[in-house]
Structure 1
Amino acid sequence: MTHFRNPSRKAPFSVRRARSLLAALTASAVLSGCGVVNHMIYKTTGDVMQGFSRNHTVPFLMESDDLAMGCAMSEATAPLLMSFGRVTNEPDQLAVMLYLSAGGCADEQAREYELKGLAALHAMNGNAAEDAMIQQKRAHTVAARRYYTAWQHHNAHYGNPADGECPDFDDDMDEFIYMAGLLSGLQALNAQIQSTSSIGVPANIGSIAARATSCLENDKWWGAPMALRATVWAMIPGAQPDGEDAFERLAIAGEQGKAAGVRLPHVFHAIAALNKGDEGMVREVIRDHAKSLENTPVNEEWRFVDAMATDMIVAVSDRLWIENTGHRTPLGRLGTFWDDQQEAVETMDLDDLL
């Protein structure tokens, strides 16, 4: 008996295959569409976050004097905000501020370890002093990496300052971030030197940053550009141009900072004086800063910068106090020193009353 295949029996199988293929294609298209939509959402979110942070978060922070909160914010939010560079343009401008601030956090830790080490030396505790100094160098290494990252993002956005060209600034905040980037370069080199290790910060970065300050309006920025340039002159042999006096320039910049209520130039002056080993000049800068805090109100738009400057001046004062007394600057006595002559107090002889 002969059996014949029924051609119609293949039809249901073919239909099922077609349906399965259609379902697979539909699912693939939907999933692909979701990926596109998600990318668009991420990109839009990233653009909004970058714009909001630059135009509102940074100015808001600059009006605050809470340094610890600013430090915590930069360390906590940097990974989140920088990750948007994976879906949209790299947030280079924002990165300058984030990594400069985060570098300052590590620098603050390094200063604390330094003070602990000095206190231990004063107490003749060699092991504790050595341990604190090791921690200090580690913190400086972290600071150097963060500062250098800020510098690299600065160059990515504005161009390499070594090329000698000045960027066209969109607004004051754009110019301020440019100055912050130059400061991050100088800080990167300084932190690397103090860490006694190398993370790849070029040795000429200070000179490059100093030259680039000519792109900034010195009077607008409280004398800070000139102070940064003069500090490099004072610290790098042969950097000072003929006919210039670094410390005279630093003194002038200090007056500009005081008048503006943003006393950042005092920090540069103190750093240059410390590098020179002139403790008398260091004391004069600290006294001048303390008097200015009493006599000149802070610029409310740049309260954070002024508070940062005071914090660093206090750190310099603390270093002197601990080296000589074993403890930090007493509360309310910034601008005074342990060996100041006490003012004579008029007393009454009890015999005169008898």
Structure 2
Amino acid sequence: MTVSPIHTLDISRALHRIKGVLTALIIGAALSGCGVVNNMIYKTTGDVMQGFSRDHTVPYLLESDDLAMGCAMSEATAPLLMSFGRVTSEPDQLAVMLYLSAGGCAEEKAREHELAGLAAMYGLKAVEAEDAMIRQKRAYMLAAKRYHKAWQHHNAFYGEPDSGDCPGFSDDMDEFIYMAGLMSGLQALNAQVQSTASLGVPANIGSIVARATSCLDNEKWWGAPMALRATVWAMIPGALPQGEDAFERLQRADEQGEAAGVRLPHVFHAIAALNQGDDEKVKAVIRDHAEAISDRPADWDWRFVDAMATDMIVAISDRMWVENTGHRTPLGQLGSFWDDQQEEVETMDLDDLL
């Protein structure tokens, strides 16, 4: 039988189409396989990064007293580390530390804007003062959002603190991050108040945190859990249990923090005193802190926490100084104040002895 050239051409075209389809299927399968392999690599990398950050990066940072370095690290690495939640389990526990630290960065800027505004008010520069206060509120909005994210990740990992059940801690770092999450909740609420905006931070966080601190060993954590609880008692009307004295508890927590070389309770004590408008009590806490850091070095494993406490005490001191003098706490004079009485130094006229 004779095959026409046209029929031969049709067969050739059909074979070409089949070859094209097969090629596409093979390439698709290969690419699909690459996607599976890539996902496995990403997941493994994410798991390794989460574990390494939690077990080594965070402890390494806590041994440092360079707050600016910690701030820069959290802001720079948070998007990278959090993105691994797309390919493996959500890094909730690590997120508590990242967003708590990043929130602190934003709050630090808010405090700087506040000082600029207070200095402008002292110098009777109304427009500069108003602009600084606007920038302050914007920075507090960002701080509140970051702190609130830390709080949400804390709850996702440990469970709702208001459930009445305490989580089972696997090690000291696990317990510390739980406490850090509680602090982030209070910070979120405070930053929202300072921003004067409604950002969705629950108003009952304070009472929740106060109850959740009972899951922590107060002696082990430098008196900070009790200081947290007592601060809530002092600041929220009706929160103080019958027979308790919030400031007596805060004083005892201060002593524990001083003895441990982690003076975090001083911060809560000063905040509670500020809330009551008791400037003399605030000054006394600042003086105690200044004396404590000169008497005893920080616990090496928790230098970052102690440095953070000092930074916040300095911020409170600076605010008081700027309000009253127009400038911050003079260098090397933390614990002293503009209205301190200068001791008169008795002098002897040596001419009388000749």
Regarding TM over 0.5, the answer is yes
Count of aligned pairs between the two proteins: 353
- Partners of 2:3 and 2:312 lie apart in 1 by 98
Q: Residue in 1 aligned with 2:155?
A: 155
- Partners of 1:317 and 1:90 lie apart in 2 by 40
Give the letter aligned to residue 187 of structure 2: Q
The CA deviation at 1:4 is 6.7
5+ residue gaps, structure 1, are none
- Partners of 2:292 and 2:237 lie apart in 1 by 32
Give the letter aligned to residue 310 of structure 2: T
Q: Residue in 2 aligned with 1:322?
A: 322
Change in 2 beyond 3 A, CA 1:310/1:12: same
The CA deviation at 1:351 is 4.5
Q: Residue in 1 aligned with 2:144?
A: 144
The CA deviation at 1:125 is 1.0
- Partners of 1:17 and 1:340 lie apart in 2 by 94
Q: Could you say what secondary structure the match of 1:194 adopts?
A: helix
Q: Residue in 1 aligned with 2:106?
A: 106
Cα displacement string for residues 92-140 of structure 1 (whole angstroms, at most 9, x for unaligned residues): 0010000000000011011111111111111111111111111111111
- Partners of 1:207 and 1:156 lie apart in 2 by 19
Q: Residue in 1 aligned with 2:169?
A: 169
The CA deviation at 1:287 is 0.4
- Partners of 2:127 and 2:9 lie apart in 1 by 90
Is 1:65 the counterpart of 2:80? The answer is no
Q: Residue in 2 aligned with 1:50?
A: 50
Give the letter aligned to residue 327 of structure 1: H
- Partners of 1:202 and 1:341 lie apart in 2 by 45
- Partners of 1:151 and 1:338 lie apart in 2 by 39
- Partners of 1:305 and 1:285 lie apart in 2 by 18
- Partners of 2:17 and 2:144 lie apart in 1 by 62
Cα displacement string for residues 225-272 of structure 1 (whole angstroms, at most 9, x for unaligned residues): 000000000000000100111000000000000000000000000000
Change in 2 beyond 3 A, CA 1:61/1:4: closer
- Partners of 1:66 and 1:158 lie apart in 2 by 29
Q: Residue in 1 aligned with 2:133?
A: 133
Give the letter aligned to residue 309 of structure 1: A
Cα displacement string for residues 199-226 of structure 1 (whole angstroms, at most 9, x for unaligned residues): 0001101110111000000111000000
Quote the sequence identity (%).
Answer: 75
- Partners of 2:315 and 2:122 lie apart in 1 by 17
The CA deviation at 1:324 is 1.0
- Partners of 1:351 and 1:131 lie apart in 2 by 60
* RMSD over aligned Cα atoms: 1.5
- Partners of 2:174 and 2:217 lie apart in 1 by 13
Q: Residue in 1 aligned with 2:272?
A: 272
Q: Residue in 2 aligned with 1:207?
A: 207
- Partners of 1:201 and 1:39 lie apart in 2 by 35
Give the letter aligned to residue 76 of structure 1: A
Cα displacement string for residues 1-35 of structure 1 (whole angstroms, at most 9, x for unaligned residues): xx974766654334323322221111001111111
The CA deviation at 1:163 is 1.0
- Partners of 1:347 and 1:106 lie apart in 2 by 51
Q: Could you say what secondary structure the match of 2:285 adopts?
A: helix
Q: Could you say what secondary structure the match of 2:89 adopts?
A: coil
5+ residue gaps, structure 2, are none
Is 1:244 the counterpart of 2:244? The answer is yes
- Partners of 1:197 and 1:31 lie apart in 2 by 49
Give the letter aligned to residue 135 of structure 2: Q
Scaled by the length of structure 2, the TM-score of the pair is 0.97
Q: Residue in 2 aligned with 1:225?
A: 225
